[in-house]
Amino acid sequence: MIRITFIIILIASFVPLKGQSLLSKPIEVKEVTVTADKLPEQQVVGAKMTKLESNTLKSNLTKSLSELLADNSSIYIKSMGQGALATASFRGTASNHTQVLWNGVSINSPQLGSFDFSQIPIYFVDQASLTHGAAAQQEGSGALGGSINFSNDFTDERPYSVSLLAEGASNETYTGAGTIRSSIGRLKLSSRGYYQQSENNYRYLNKVYSKDPFYERRKNADYKQAGFMQEVYYKGKRNDQIKAIAWWQFDDRSLPQSTIVNVTATEKSKTSNVRMLISYNKAIDSHKFNLTTAYLASNMEYSRVMGDFVDTPTDNRNNSTIAKAEYSYLGWKRLSLNSQLTYRHDQVVSDNYQDGKKKRNTTSLKLFSTYRATNYLHFDAQTTAFLNDKDLSAIYNLSARYRIVPKYLTLKLSNGYNHRVPTLNDLYWNPGGNPELKSETGFSSDIGLTSNPQVGIFDMLFEATYYHMDINNWIMWIPKGNGAIWEPVNFNKVKSQGLEVDIKIKYSIANSNHAFSTNYGLAISTNNSGRDDYTQGKQLPYIPRHKWNLNYRVDYKDKAWFSYLISFTDKRFTSADESYQTNAYTTHNAEIGYNLKLPRGIKLNFSLRMDNIFNAYYESTQYYPMPLRMLWGRTVVSF
């Protein structure tokens, strides 16, 4: 009776705070830490966190991060086609409401605020996870929907190892990659490179030009992508570690036209990214220190040719410098304390800014504390103060986790307030930028239940989370005047609420291991600004109400495997008044593979994958058709 009364009081204390984030599996903090430079005591005990399985990463090495998230999470990815721009909608929010962290450093564009997930090959990702809701205050503000975290690590203890990959696919798509790793005492080195090119001339069903649909091939959609990453890890004798990473990524792609356009134009973009990071960790008894510095540089060139008319090419360059100091004290049995001071300098040089250059300086101080009241009840609190140039703001998140019946039932609660300043494009893009924009603010609350029982041979996880967000001053670009120029404006209020459900079941029979997982997302994101027009109460554009995935994988004797994926995405309205929409779609993918061990430690891996088995016609972005059935064949040799 006392336990039930406590649960009621705990829920009631969170409900009036206007928001609720959700819970994740009742795991120990160390098990869900995926950012190597993040100290484990920073993990939010009451937040929903999703960790992507290592098998999922290994079997999708040549896919982009956008494809991985679309197939394995409730996040909606808006894509313009294979190899083309792909952005994320997290919990019914906009693409620039999702923070992307690489080894604990935000790599969102200071110019756009959003992130192109098609430019991240899984080959450069060792660990990945999602933090849902306002708890994603990892570095900077702005993660109104959540954060996507990926990092690099070196766990191979062999003195020397080599891995080579070759893949061929439909539509003249070819991929090559290689990794060399070595361990010399306390020093570990890793070098990996990646290259993919495609004519990308896939077949699709044209439903626009005539009453009777007909098949044709995509034009001007070719792309090339290359990357190289160098990693250095050093473990000292006195509980100190150094990690240094340099990563170069390059994309050269043609931009296909919408199928509704009948004027031929050739558009191209070339994007290069340089990301460098050095991190130092030191532990002295109950004290932990971390120093991190990072440099991010991006350069995007855009050109367009229409017949005899050649547009003047435009150039956009972003540079960011980040310095971060972190201290944690773990000397108390039930209480841990953490502080983090971060400075970030962003500079954008763009042909589309009136004076060509804009800068932004951001300083933040974060305080985080976790309190273990009992073995069953944990609390945490975090607050961060920001100084964006001359504007001061603050955000917070409070959460709790109560293990009602250990392993069988855990309750999680989270409530937070977040804040996002307008991007530099929002303020200064010419024409259309609006220097008078207000910052977006919002309350978010989660409530969730998780269960992690083991019944016989079955290891199961069930998790359900309800979330509610009220976002004020939502920034949206709308047509101005005759529609030739678009400009950003603040909507008074947007409400986003929904449900996230995850189920995982693993079991072993004889010599086979089976894994079944499914996730479902309900996102109701509406304009509640009180505007007297047809957009009031309508679902925001390109946010599906329903999305779910179902995955099954079986491994036999560590020699062979088979996997099957079904993915459903609901219709998306493409106009603010719900007058236009793209249809719902379901795709089926399957993969089969075999591992062969040869003498002298040589291993061969063969796999064959088929995407969109039933040739479903679908559009992620209106009038940008996605590929029909595609076949992929891959060989990996390692020693």
Q: What is the pLDDT of residues 81-105, one digit of tens each?
A: 999 999 999 999 999 999 999 999 9
DSSP of 428-490: HBTTT--TTPPPEEEEEEEEEEEE--EETTEEEEEEEEEEEEEEEEEEEEEEETTTTEEEEEE
Q: Calculate mean pLDDT across residues 276-304.
A: 96
Distance (Å, whole) CA 635 – CA 177? 11
Please give the domain boundaries of the chain with CATH numbers for all domains.
2-638 (2.40.170.20)
pLDDT value, residue 399? 94
Q: What is the pLDDT of residue 31?
A: 36
By CB atoms closer than 10 A (0-12, 13-18, 19+), residue 1 is: exposed
pLDDT tens track for 390-434 = 889 999 999 999 999 988 999 999 999 999 999 999 999 999 999
396 sits in which H/E element: strand 391-405
pLDDT in tens, 493-521: 899 999 999 999 999 999 999 999 999 99
Q: What is the tens place of the pLDDT at every residue in 345-395?
A: 999 999 999 888 999 999 999 999 999 999 999 999 999 999 999 889 999
Q: pLDDT tier at 27 (50, 70, 90 boundaries)? A: very low
Model confidence over 467-498: pLDDT tens digits? 999 999 999 888 887 777 899 999 878 999 99
Convert the pLDDT of each residue in 118-139 to its tens digit.
Answer: 999 999 999 999 999 878 775 5
Residue 342 has pLDDT above 50, yes or no: yes
What is d(CA 616, CA 204) in angstroms, rounded to the nearest whole number? 10
- Segment (H or E) for 155: none
| pLDDT greater than 80 at residue 145 | yes
208 — pLDDT class (breaks 50, 70, 90): confident
pLDDT computed for residue 531 by the predictor: 66
**Mean pLDDT value of segment 546-571:** 96
Residue 97 or 265, more confident: 97
Residue 30 has pLDDT above 70, yes or no: no
At 267, the amino acid letter reads E
Strands (E) across 5-75 are located at 49-51
> Mean pLDDT over residues 260-284, rounded?
91
pLDDT the model gives residue 274: 98
Q: Sorting pLDDT into bands at 50, 70 and 90, what band is 532?
A: low
Mean pLDDT of the 590-594 span: 97
Average pLDDT for residues 571-598, to the nearest whole number?
94
CB 132 within 8 A of CB 446: yes
The token pair that represents 222 in the structure block:
């070719």
> Is the pLDDT confidence value at 275 over 60?
yes
pLDDT, one tens digit per residue, over 64-87 is 999 999 999 999 999 999 999 999
User: What pLDDT score was predicted for residue 139?
Assistant: 58
Whole-number average pLDDT of the chain: 89
Q: Average of pLDDT values for 552-564?
A: 95
Residue 20: per-residue pLDDT: 35
Alpha carbons 429 and 109: distance in angstroms, whole number: 14
pLDDT at 110: 93
Q: Where are the beta strands (DSSP E) in 528-622?
A: 546-556, 560-569, 572-573, 581-582, 585-597, 603-611, 619-621
- Cis amide bond preceding 431, omega within 30: yes
Does 336 score more than 90 pLDDT?
Answer: yes
